[in-house]
Structure 1
């Protein structure tokens, strides 16, 4: 292999929305699918609609513990009815005769002839007076309305309904819904195989060197820890290739190794313009670089390319830049690989409780958190190296390029909770 590829002129900064659109266009082909137990499908992306073969609930049933009655028999307060039968959940009762009630429990089918349920708190149980009062008598203290405390057949799901759609990322409640229509197995996208590597001669792993023994210029590799956690939360199978020295040959060797067996390579550091930044040039040498250098702050030196069939996302080395470019770009890319239908961040309008007079020429993401008054407070240090801002804050304010704002203005807030699920 001869070194004939040379980096071109530095391109203009690309708008974030354009970069994301191009990134997602390249997220193909979609990953293969597999069938897994519904128990094991949490967080996976559904590859096939779930269609219900039954009606849920299958019959009208009681929403309360109480008494099934005919509303016409209880029009006057204090009406006394004979309790003729007892209907637990899972048992079908006999038709309800006029002038009688059935003791019924939550979830039990409503007997034929009954049109209301009176919860037991609105009744008083009396002794029976005859053999017909098999379970005593009940006084109805409050007259019921027809239909009261009855859950109708099919009010949750009708047979033939699509209850979960292809492309949904399965939540705990979605698994419950799938189980409620009898699905013990689900068709999902396979887990993405992702290689993770960090670059930088200054990086040291916690535990290898005590804080008091750190050499001047050395820093602990924080990126490696939150990157692994974020990838695992997205359902990825992660191969951690560790720290790669700031050398061109070592970078090329690591990328070749990663590209051989992974769908995606995520790197941190080495994508800027310094003499020790080799990721961008190595990707160009081994494959193709599709985009680089974004009009966003923090996170400008983000890169995307391909080496063979493997995608490469090169993230900046500064921890806040790395964290935010992952959430705003890599996360939607990984979800799109899995066929997810909803991948973009969902900002919500909120009130800023501070002034921001110094708008940047780039689109800026300010670390902030919600306060007790329903507004947003700003972390005082917005440097891309201040990782404490991401722990103190519970989201970012998406600030358009060149647009200052004042306290009381409405801004667009993206919560970390919406991005870390």
Structure 2
């Protein structure tokens, strides 16, 4: 049975299109000091005000030479030193060399730097042992890394730990960024208990909120944890109203299936409108999306694997667009050979948890074991999703499947 034969189940691609189509990116900007800007999205492109490096400098510890001075000899006396922050100044006599360190400014008229491993200090000076010296060897020219006026980062890029030192190398102390999306979240269910509370008969610990909070932060957003809300229509409605008043997006965990105590759908219809309900995805079919009066709404399933999967696959791109992050894209699909069979029925795109490795240059993948939506150990062990197409059935060992490696939000 294909997905189109499963009444009421929307394909993931259609759901993502509808979600992203409804999002208007945040335009409010902030001016932040560089150390405080990590994880924010740039509201303006960054162009370099300087050349990097700003002067020709040495790539090695060694000796700066003029090739003409070595035309008739292999030994030169040392006339001075050029250290990082302490360049050689003054006249450089003909027939001499300059002791130079990595990063130090190249003396005027220097043709090459000879690394110290290719030299020998003698009574008459430094003997150069290299058979052949190339012009400009071991010299990093001005602007070798970044040219003045060049675009370094585009508008819409999220600042990573790799970007911060690069921007600092340009002497830029402040950057203009978009404010982070605010995400209020809570879990629903009388059976849920917070960590530190004793478990009664039929109770379980609420693990979803902790995973959701971590993902929201890793997605570059500001989380607001409203706790566990009991299965009470009045309390649930009041919590929705509070949540939308303080956030751009409201995320709930649980309360979106078809149980008698699942009130979320009714309340959402009172406070806003439902975009869709139930997707052709496994796990995570009872995922809801809609619009409250003043915030977007994402209703995650209550099972822990389903909640994390739908946060990762569906909510992550929504929050990226809301944050103005035009550079975000999902990890690519990679073909891999299965080391064992995978159970699968046609009808829904199945994100099974897998462990990939590389054998003889080929990606191979095996299951983490129990693929139940309530067995979170399968997520903890995994390093990739095995993404099985909607129409596909059981996969046998040795077949090729598509895997999606986790991005850094799951590490």
TM-score of the two chains, using structure 1 as the length reference? 0.90
Q: 1:75 to 1:382 in 2, by over 3 A?
A: farther
- In structure 1, stretches of 5+ residues that fail to align are 1-9, 129-136
**1:68 maps onto 2:56 in alignment:** no
Cα offset for 1:72?
4.2
State the alpha-carbon separation in 2 of the partners of residues 298 and 208 from structure 1: 29
- In structure 2, stretches of 5+ residues that fail to align are 1-5
RMSD, matched Cα? 2.0
State the alpha-carbon separation in 2 of the partners of residues 153 and 84 from structure 1: 24
**Could you say which residue in structure 2 is the equivalent of 1:383?**
372
Q: 1:29 to 1:113 in 2, by over 3 A?
A: closer
- Check conservation: 2:187, 2:228, Cα contact below 8 A: yes
**Could you say which residue in structure 1 is the equivalent of 2:400?**
410
- Check conservation: 1:345, 1:419, Cα contact below 8 A: no
Cα offset for 1:48?
0.9
1:339-390: CA deviation from partner (whole Å, max 9, x where unpaired): 0013332134133222236343100101001236352111221110000001
**1:125 maps onto 2:121 in alignment:** yes
**1:392 maps onto 2:381 in alignment:** yes
Cα offset for 1:312?
0.8
State the alpha-carbon separation in 2 of the partners of residues 54 and 338 from structure 1: 29
- Check conservation: 2:26, 2:179, Cα contact below 8 A: no
Cα offset for 1:123?
0.6
State the alpha-carbon separation in 2 of the partners of residues 75 and 144 from structure 1: 11
- Check conservation: 1:95, 1:112, Cα contact below 8 A: no
State the alpha-carbon separation in 2 of the partners of residues 13 and 72 from structure 1: 78
State the alpha-carbon separation in 1 of the partners of residues 117 and 160 from structure 2: 36
1:365-419: CA deviation from partner (whole Å, max 9, x where unpaired): 0100123635211122111000000111112111111224443443322222444
- Check conservation: 2:19, 2:318, Cα contact below 8 A: yes
State the alpha-carbon separation in 2 of the partners of residues 257 and 138 from structure 1: 76
**Residue of 72, 81, 95 corresponding to 2:76:** 81
State the alpha-carbon separation in 2 of the partners of residues 377 and 96 from structure 1: 66
**1:42 maps onto 2:44 in alignment:** no
Superposed structure 1 runs of 4+ greater than 6 Å apart: none
Q: 1:183 to 1:420 in 2, by over 3 A?
A: farther
Q: Provide the aligned length of Structure 1 versus Structure 2.
A: 399
SS of equivalent to 1:48: coil
**Residue of 11, 16, 32 corresponding to 1:15:** 11
TM-score of the two chains, using structure 2 as the length reference? 0.92
Cα offset for 1:44?
1.3
**1:264 maps onto 2:252 in alignment:** no
- Check conservation: 2:331, 2:406, Cα contact below 8 A: no
Cα offset for 1:75?
5.9
**Could you say which residue in structure 1 is the equivalent of 2:96?**
100
Moved more, 251-260 or 409-418: 409-418
Q: 1:114 to 1:401 in 2, by over 3 A?
A: same
SS of equivalent to 1:282: helix
1:226-258: CA deviation from partner (whole Å, max 9, x where unpaired): 111111222332221111111222221110111
**Could you say which residue in structure 2 is the equivalent of 1:371?**
357
